[in-house]
Amino acid sequence: MACVYVLWSSSLQKRYVGRSSGAAEARLRQHNQGHNRFTRGGIPWILVYSEEDLDHKSANTRERFLKSGQGRKWLDQQLPRFSRKAHITNSERCRSG
């Protein structure tokens, strides 16, 4: 079985979409220990969304979708707190207020 997961880095104000053959929580620990060079700079990451118990083909398809334009839009709607656009808008409000 496999999973697809979405991580959020407050320091980078970015999401990371990935898939794993194990549990999302275990993969999160690996990201936060610096085992992935693409996410090392955003430590600490938090798990904001996951889809567990997928077969490998479904996980691969779902990961590709979530990384696509439509998938990013879907994530923005599902996870508005963890959207870079939301954080940019909030920081602009803080500066102008």
One-character DSSP codes across 30-90: HHHTT--TTTGGGPSEEEEEEEEEE-HHHHHHHHHHHHSHHHHHHHHHH-GGG-HHHHHHH
pTM of the shown model: 0.85
Q: How many domains does the chain have?
A: 1
Q: What is the pLDDT of residues 11-64, one digit of tens each?
A: 999 999 999 999 999 999 999 999 999 999 999 999 999 999 999 999 999 999
Q: Decide: 8 and 22 in contact? Cβ < 8 Å.
A: no
pLDDT exceeds cutoff 80 at 94 = no
Q: Average pLDDT of 79-91?
A: 70
- What pLDDT was estimated at residue 84? 72
- Domain of 60 in residue numbering reads as 2-96
26: part of which helix (H) or strand (E)?
Answer: helix 24-32
Q: How confident is the model at residue 86 (pLDDT cuts 50, 70, 90)?
A: low
